[in-house]
Each structure stands twice: as structure tokens, then as C-alpha cells.
């Protein structure tokens, strides 16, 4: 028997034993003031003795008192980026802080890309008053349909024209340009772009990469672009194959820090030095970027600010306000992966000089 059916049966039993109607039992278990305290206590004691489990989601829906925001990570069959991905962990941590500071709980779930419409049930069932979706991936039209049906959602992703849902994202195009201009300033002439441009955010980073090349009198070389996925194992396999067949480049711009770190490790294993032989820029500026060797130059996304904007967006969506697009500034953090440290010349001691002169 399904749980809802079992609950209904137990409510009938409680009503019969207590000598009240089923509706009175329902109100008493929901804490309604329409049921006097004595009756309410008798019913709740009976429910406890029968180990009755109330449907909290349904109660929240009826009472309008849900204090939960659902955070959804779409699961793509083509790029199965795990929840343990460092970028996800960083953004989820900021979201948890932003929600807690406003008195909300966070419900984390994954939804298969083929069943993206299932997230509607999180709101309609009363389990959550709104939904934050991390990443548009290839789901822009599905998200548009959900928002059109009144589902309160805010999405971390790219600012796409004509969107009818709240969007929060960094300025990906400027980020791509900052990374590429820095590599050009470092003297690099053959800059490889790593990332799957089918994804909206990556496509904008590529536009910034292209903008910087054109502004500096260079053409975009299709041979210097590689559709590397975000998922770590798939990225490693793709990069290993790339480096086995392509060596004519002097810099890499990777669309995630993890991708850049993986590239660094594979290049090092092939005897290629970073930054002396190849300079590398990542994206996200995760905490790991300042801890690896060499430390990683990266485009910083302001994740704490992003989390606060996502929470504000989903609450605005819940209240029926018109959707907005929030584009946050990106900045370049320069570190060792693009900076060749000059070795200081060893000073000759006076005594050594004297001996040499003798």
C-alpha cells in the first residue's frame, strides 16, 4: 500500500477511536486552532501511538509555511559532472550560507536531463517554495516552459535574450576576453581554447576568446579549439588524446579550473613545463587554484554574490515578479601558471672573487 493510502487508512482509524471526523483529525495533526486543545492533544497522542506519519509536504502546501528552497543539479547523459565537482561544492556552500542567513532550508537533488520537468513537482507538492537550478546546460527551452507554467525558478547560467525566468551568472564573455588578452600580453601566439561550446556559458567564454584574438589582429584557428567536457575522467581522456596529437600551441585557456589542473598534470607527465613552455589559464578561481603547483591563473566568478542573487531571484519568482538577468563582474587573478619566474643570479662572494683574481 502506498504511503498516502496508508496515512488515509490510519486517519480513519484515529477518527473512529477518538470519536471525531476524519477532517477533525486532519486539522488537529496540522495544528489548526479550529480544534480545541484537549481534542488536539488526544488525537496527536493517538497518532503517535499508531506511529502515524503525516505528509509534511502536503501540510506545508495547505498552510503556506514551507521554508525550503530546492537546489537542483541537472544530470546530463553526455557530461556526467558529479556533485563532488569542486565548482558545485563551492557554489552549494555559498547557497547554503545565503539560504540559512534568511531562515530557509536547502533541499538538494539531482534530476536527469530527460526528466527536467520533474522539478515542477518539488513546488507543486509543497516540498519547496521555489527552485534554484545550477546550470542551463542544454535545458533552456525546458526551463522556459517550466517558468511559463508558473514554477518559481532562478537559474545559474548564461544571460540569454528572451528568457522568462530569473538568471544569475558571471560575465562569461568578458571573462573569456580577460583570459585571452592576458595570454597574448604574456607573448603567447597559439592559444588553445578548451571547452564545449554547445553549453551557453562556454559559448560566451569562447566569444570573449575570439574577441581578444581579433582585437589583436589574430584569426581564430579551428585547430586550436577542443570540446573538452567538464567531468573529470572524460576531460582527462580527451586531453590525453589531444596532447598525443597536437603540440603546436604555447598556451591553454581552459573553461574550468579542474580542466586546467588536469591539463597541467598531463603536460608535466609529458615533460612539458608550465609556465616555461606552455602558459595556462583556468576559470572559476576555486580555492584549489592557489594551492596547486604551479599556482593557477584563473578567471574569478563571485560565487558568494551569485548565491545571494539566486536566493533573491527565487524569492522574487515566488512572489510573481517579472524575471530579471543578473550579470556579475569577472576578474582575472594572475598566478604562477602564466608567469615565468626569473632565477636570481648567484652573487659571488668577495673571497671567491679574490681567489679568481689570483
| pLDDT over 70 percentage in the chain | 85
CATH number of 3-54: 1.10.260
Do the domains spanning 3-54 and 172-302+333-338 agree at the CATH topology level? Answer: no
The 10s digit of each residue's pLDDT in 300-334 is 999 999 999 999 999 999 999 999 999 999 999 99
The 10s digit of each residue's pLDDT in 170-229 is 999 999 999 999 999 999 999 999 999 999 999 999 999 999 999 999 999 999 999 999
Mean pLDDT of the residues in the chain? 85
Q: In a 10 Å sphere around its CB, with 0-12 CB exposed, 13-18 middle and 19+ buried, how is residue 81 labelled?
A: buried
Architecture of domain 172-302+333-338: 3-Layer(aba) Sandwich (3.40)
Q: What is the pLDDT of residue 44?
A: 79
Q: Which residue's C-alpha cell is 471526523?
A: 21
H, E, C per residue of 164-201: CCEEEEECHHHHHHHHHHHHHHCCCCCEEEECCCCCHH
Is CATH 3.40.50.2300 correct for 68-169+304-323?
yes
Residue 32, phi then psi, degrees to nearest 5: -65, 140
For the chain, the structural domain boundaries read 3-54, 68-169+304-323, 172-302+333-338
The 10s digit of each residue's pLDDT in 50-81 is 666 555 445 544 445 568 999 998 776 665 67
Task: Give the mean pLDDT of 3-20.
Answer: 67
Amino acid at each position: 500500500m502506498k504511503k498516502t493510502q496508508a496515512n488515509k487508512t490510519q486517519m480513519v482509524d484515529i477518527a473512529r477511536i477518538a470519536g471525531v471526523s476524519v477532517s477533525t483529525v486532519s486539522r488537529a495533526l496540522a495544528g489548526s486552532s479550529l480544534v480545541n486543545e484537549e481534542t488536539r492533544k488526544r488525537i496527536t497522542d493517538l497518532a503517535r501511538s499508531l506511529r502515524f506519519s503525516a505528509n509534511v509536504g502536503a501540510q506545508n502546501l495547505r498552510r503556506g509555511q514551507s521554508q525550503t528552497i530546492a537546489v537542483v543539479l541537472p544530470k546530463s547523459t553526455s557530461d556526467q559532472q558529479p556533485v563532488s565537482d569542486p565548482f558545485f561544492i563551492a557554489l552549494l556552500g555559498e547557497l547554503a550560507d545565503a539560504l540559512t542567513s534568511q531562515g530557509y532550508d536547502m533541499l538538494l537533488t539531482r534530476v536527469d536531463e530527460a526528466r527536467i520537468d520533474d522539478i515542477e513537482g518539488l513546488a507543486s507538492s509543497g516540498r519547496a517554495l521555489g527552485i534554484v537550478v545550477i546550470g542551463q546546460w542544454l535545458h533552456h527551452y525546458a526551463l522556459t516552459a517550466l517558468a511559463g507554467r508558473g514554477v518559481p525558478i532562478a537559474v545559474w547560467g548564461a544571460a540569454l535574450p528572451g528568457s522568462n525566468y530569473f538568471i544569475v551568472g558571471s560575465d562569461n564573455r568578458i571573462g573569456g576576453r580577460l583570459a585571452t588578452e592576458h595570454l597574448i600580453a604574456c607573448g603567447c601566439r597559439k592559444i588553445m581554447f578548451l571547452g564545449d561550446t554547445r553549453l551557453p556559458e562556454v559559448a560566451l567564454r569562447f566569444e570573449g576568446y575570439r574577441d581578444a584574438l581579433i582585437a589583436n589582429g589574430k584569426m581564430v584557428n579551428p585547430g586550436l579549439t577542443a570540446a573538452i567536457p567538464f567531468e573529470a575522467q572524460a576531460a582527462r581522456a580527451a586531453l590525453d588524446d589531444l596532447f598525443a596529437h597536437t603540440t603546436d600551441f604555447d598556451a591553454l585557456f581552459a573553461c574550468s579550473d579542474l580542466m586546467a589542473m588536469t591539463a597541467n598534470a598531463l603536460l608535466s607527465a609529458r615533460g612539458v613545463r608550465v609556465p616555461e613552455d606552455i602558459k595556462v589559464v583556468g576559470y572559476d578561481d576555486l580555492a584549489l587554484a592557489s594551492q596547486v603547483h604551479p599556482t593557477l591563473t584563473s578567471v574569478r566568478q563571485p560565487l558568494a554574490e551569485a548565491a545571494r542573487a539566486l536566493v533573491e531571484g527565487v524569492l522574487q519568482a515566488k512572489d510573481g515578479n517579472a524575471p530579471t538577468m543578473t550579470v556579475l563582474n569577472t576578474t582575472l587573478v594572475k598566478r604562477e601558471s602564466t608567469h615565468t619566474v626569473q632565477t636570481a643570479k648567484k652573487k659571488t662572494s668577495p673571497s671567491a672573487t679574490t681567489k679568481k683574481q689570483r
